[in-house]
Amino acid sequence: MDGHGHRLSPTAPRRRRVPVRALAWAGAVAVPLAFLGLFFAWPVATLVARGFVADGALDLSGFAEVFSTPRTWRIIGLTLWQATLGTALSVLLGIPGAYVLYRCRFPGQRFWRAFVTVPFVLPTVVVGVAFRSLLVEGGPLGFLGLDESFAAIVLALVFFNYSVVVRTVGGLWERLDPRAEEAARALGATPWRAFRTVTLPALGPAVASAASLVFLFCATAFGVVLVLGGIRYGTIETEIWIQTTQFLDLRTAAVLSVVQLVVVAGALTVANRARTRRERALNLSSAERSARPLRPFGADALPLAVTVVVVGGLIALPIGNLLVRSLRTPAGWSLDNYRNLGTTGGRNALSVTVWEAAGNSLRTAAVATVLAIVVGGLVALVVSRRPRARAGRRAITLLDSVFMLPLGVSAVTVGFGFLITLDRPLGIDWDLRTSGLLVPIAQAVVAVPLVVRTVLPVLRAIDPRLREAAATLGASPGRVLATVDGPLAVRSLGLAVGFAFAVSLGEFGATSFLARPDTATLPVVIFRLIGRPGVENYGMALAASVVLAALTATVMLLAERLRGDRPGGAGEF
């Protein structure tokens, strides 16, 4: 691992330290790779391989067969189209949101930052109900005629992913030194021109980061497409799901998994290109210093209007709908649905109470978060280095992309892959499949890419000259990490912790294959409740969703606090 290339001139005496440092960097690469290899690559590859092996021989005829049906092409086209539109709209709407919620200062800001993250963790089946009961014929927004439409899918994708853009871009934006833009303005540039030529390019890497994440989420969206689009709009993901769980046609599923990987790899390559072209060190400053009061009637009117429409119309409306419905009971308005959360549901729909499930969720998410932060933090650290050697840079780009893959592979492929590989992991006689530990591990695998994407833009934006200067002044590599990278990274870690925790709280796909009834998580319980008849169960499902939403918002608020924004702490930069 050529991790020392950023040093100005490694002199002869220093070179002797290289083995130790190389070892440290090798460890930083090996731990995440081993984790991902064992809990992602191996299960997925084993399952996909089963689809390509018939009677002990390699059989690739599945490709010809799958690609000769017009339905396959329609599904691929639809997947790309909805993902592209969903990503474009999320980014377009998310950038003004990032500005208003992170760059500006106004009362209640932290609440709204947490609030926009809520959709991210809501179980699809609940979002389906929240959206569809608004849009359905006769519903409050039924006149729009959006039920079961392509537009409804795209709007739902924005609903889910808006916060990804807002947080990723906002996290960098709030630390961006305002002086460059101020200078441009002082030199006579219009606000738009200053934004376009100074700020936007600086935000480029974060925007590309967010866009690639959102694209992966959109391309692999499962439930939301089925629920909101109706059955006409199949995607690669839904097709893999059906082929695996319903038909056990591993051959077709394997072909589609490969297609999905190609799509995802293509998206990552494009995003990487976009990122590296723009990548450079930025002047970071403290959020305190960079933020400015919101000017609702002045220059900020447009971004504010966009944000109000998105947050109010697209996010608050469905969530409000959920809240209102959770308070409605056959006997009129009441808190009965919430009181029932201490029970196991109408006629024992559940094997744990909803509160116990909430406890399970929090514990599982805490473990998953620790795993994700350790693994993702190491990846971000390694990937943030810019070795001199071309091969080193290539290797790092590759590593970066590899850790994004868990977002681009179907949860059903991962879940079924676990089943056929983890009965004796690495030959150890410990059936992980039925162990409770596999749930947080599966959630961590999904959360790692988010941690990487959140921490990386900040680490990359640190001027390497700072590290060089510290090293020249005699700081050991460890000390450089602790004093230069550390303080900045720790703050973005707060955000990453929040994201990882939220994604673990909301993870349903892989969890549903692994959850044990007595340790069911909140989304699993919600799914069960809403799958049962009975107004009581339905009401509890909605109330439990509100609880999940409130938990998420609380976690996000705490994560904001955790960032411990010491005023002036980063001001020297």
Task: Identify residues 245-274 at the interface with other proteins (CB under 8 A).
Answer: 245-249
> Which pair of structure tokens corresponds to residue 342?
């201490």
| Contact set for other proteins, span 380-439 (CB under 8 A) | 415-416, 419-420, 423-424, 430-431, 433-437, 439
Residue where the block lists tokens 């091969």 = 391
Q: What is the C-alpha separation between 218 and 1, in angstroms, rounded?
A: 34
Among the residue ranges 85-93, 134-142, 154-162, 381-389, the one whose residues contact other proteins (CB under 8 A): 134-142
- Half-sphere exposure (Cβ direction) of 459: Cα atoms closer than 13 Å: 26
- Residue pair 32/403 in contact (Cβ under 8 Å)? The answer is yes
Three-class HEC string of 68-108:
CCHHHHHHHHHHHHHHHHHHHHHHHHHHHHHHHHHHEECCC
* CB-nearer residue toward other proteins: 294 or 540: 540
* CB-nearer residue toward other proteins: 14 or 433: 433
Residue where the block lists tokens 């474009």 = 88
Q: How far is the CB of 352 from other proteins (least distance, A)?
A: 6
Q: How far is the CB of 468 from other proteins (least distance, A)?
A: 36
Q: Which of 140, 313, 342, 567 binds other proteins (CB under 8 A)?
A: 342
Q: How far is the CB of 133 from other proteins (least distance, A)?
A: 5
CB atoms within 10 A of CB 73: 12
**Angle CA 121–125–128, to nearest 5:** 100
DSSP 8-state assignment for residue 315 = I
* CB-nearer residue toward other proteins: 48 or 287: 48
Among the residue ranges 113-121, 206-214, 303-311, 365-373, the one whose residues contact other proteins (CB under 8 A): 365-373
> Which pair of structure tokens corresponds to residue 351?
């094997």
Please report whether residue 337 would count as binding other proteins according to CB under 8 A.
Answer: no
Please report whether residue 563 would count as binding other proteins according to CB under 8 A.
Answer: no
* CB-nearer residue toward other proteins: 533 or 567: 533
Among the residue ranges 34-42, 224-232, 256-264, 303-311, the one whose residues contact other proteins (CB under 8 A): 224-232
Q: How far is the CB of 528 from other proteins (least distance, A)?
A: 6
| Contact set for other proteins, span 493-532 (CB under 8 A) | 501, 512-519, 524, 527-528, 530-532
Please report whether residue 544 would count as binding other proteins according to CB under 8 A.
Answer: no
**Angle CA 166–172–178, to nearest 5:** 115
| Contact set for other proteins, span 305-334 (CB under 8 A) | 325, 330
Q: How far is the CB of 82 from other proteins (least distance, A)?
A: 16
Q: How many residues bind other proteins (CB under 8 A)?
A: 86
* CB-nearer residue toward other proteins: 182 or 423: 423
Q: Which of 226, 254, 414, 451 binds other proteins (CB under 8 A)?
A: 226
> Which pair of structure tokens corresponds to residue 399?
């590593």
Among the residue ranges 14-22, 203-211, 343-351, 480-488, the one whose residues contact other proteins (CB under 8 A): 343-351
Among the residue ranges 100-108, 150-158, 243-251, 259-267, the one whose residues contact other proteins (CB under 8 A): 243-251
Pick left, alpha or beta for residue 348 (phi over 0 → left; psi -120 to 50 → alpha; otherwise beta): left
Provide the residue type at 238 as one letter.
T
- Residue pair 443/537 in contact (Cβ under 8 Å)? The answer is no
Please report whether residue 136 would count as binding other proteins according to CB under 8 A.
Answer: yes
Residue where the block lists tokens 């969206």 = 221
| Contact set for other proteins, span 194-213 (CB under 8 A) | none
The per-residue b/e assignment along 198-228, b for 16 or more CB within 10 angstroms, e otherwise, is bbeebbbbbbbbbbbbbbbbbbbbbbbbbbb
Q: Which of 440, 494, 498, 509 binds other proteins (CB under 8 A)?
A: 440
| CA 127 to centroid of chain Cα atoms | 17
**Which 3 state secondary structure label does DSSP give 492?**
helix
**Which 3 state secondary structure label does DSSP give 176?**
strand
Please report whether residue 367 would count as binding other proteins according to CB under 8 A.
Answer: yes
> Which pair of structure tokens corresponds to residue 225?
């497409």
CB atoms within 10 A of CB 166: 30
Please report whether residue 490 would count as binding other proteins according to CB under 8 A.
Answer: no
